[in-house]
Amino acid sequence: MSDHCHSGAQGCCSHDTPSLDSLQNPARYRRVLWVALVLNAAMFAVELVAGAQAGSLSLLADAIDFAGDALNYGVSLAVLASALTWRARAAVVKAMSMMGFGLYVLGSAVWGLWHGQAPEPLTMGMVALLALATNVGVAVMLYAFREGDANMRSVWLCSRNDAIGNVAVMLAAAGVFGTGSAWPDLLVAGLMAALALQGGWAVWRQAREELRQPASGHAQM
């Protein structure tokens, strides 16, 4: 996807796959993508389970981002030497998933304003810290490939936005611990869900535009 979808969407972390001839070590790049995919998929599962057990909507909202990142790395592996039009098709699926999960979290946050209980702050903080370490680790692994393609630089915006989300969950945990109220968690969850909806919509529009272009128009995304 284009860099523009990173400008305001925490959940809109997608980077274009560089061409094989632009990579000095494509075999290593594939290995790094596989590691990044596994780490992000694992953190999605961890935050999904921890969010449900701790009753934290902000953890569930942050899980959206890890799911989207895992899909991005999977798509990058799939189309590394394939037609780029498949990335746009996969992006449509990603956008629908992001917006669907974003609506669920946002609706749950609104419902929680009247019926929700305070989540367990220790679990929130520990999992958010683990998520932050994961995002930093992935960014370090991808550092060597930051010049492989102009669009690969967008991974730094993605990593920054991911880290902001992780820190926001930690702040929410501190707020829940200090107040004994669910409000900090619900506020962060609502903001992150809204950003996921915005990011999903941006990905959807971009992907639809790319699918309407002739095949030659996919040379650069």
- Asked whether residue 3 carries a pLDDT value surpassing 50, the answer given is no
DSSP conformation letters of 44-66 = HHHHHHHHHHHT-HHHHHHHHHH
Instruction: Tell me what the mean pLDDT of segment 41-67 comes to.
Output: 90
Which among 119, 150, 145, 112 is positioned nearest to 47, based on CA atoms?
119
In the chain, pLDDT over 90 holds for what percent of residues?
20
pLDDT band for 6, please (50, 70, 90 cuts): very low
Mean pLDDT, all residues of the chain:
76
pLDDT digits 0-9 by tens, 117-133 = 889 999 999 999 999 99
Write down the pLDDT at residue 149.
Answer: 46
**Which carries the bigger pLDDT value, residue 90 or residue 23?**
90
Instruction: Tell me what the mean pLDDT of segment 105-120 comes to.
Output: 80
Write down the pLDDT at residue 155.
Answer: 54
Q: Domain boundaries in the chain?
A: 23-213
- Asked whether residue 206 carries a pLDDT value surpassing 70, the answer given is yes
- Answering whether pTM is above 0.75, one says no
Tokens encoding 156: 């730094």
Write down the pLDDT at residue 175.
Answer: 93
Tokens encoding 23: 């990579």
- Asked whether residue 76 carries a pLDDT value surpassing 50, the answer given is yes
Classified by CATH at the fold level, domain 23-213 comes out as Alpha-lytic protease prodomain-like (1.20.1510)
pLDDT digits 0-9 by tens, 134-172 = 988 888 887 776 654 434 545 555 666 677 888 989 999
Which among 81, 50, 83, 86 is positioned nearest to 66, based on CA atoms?
50
Tokens encoding 1: 């996807």
**Which carries the bigger pLDDT value, residue 122 or residue 5?**
122
Instruction: Tell me what the mean pLDDT of segment 84-106 comes to.
Output: 76
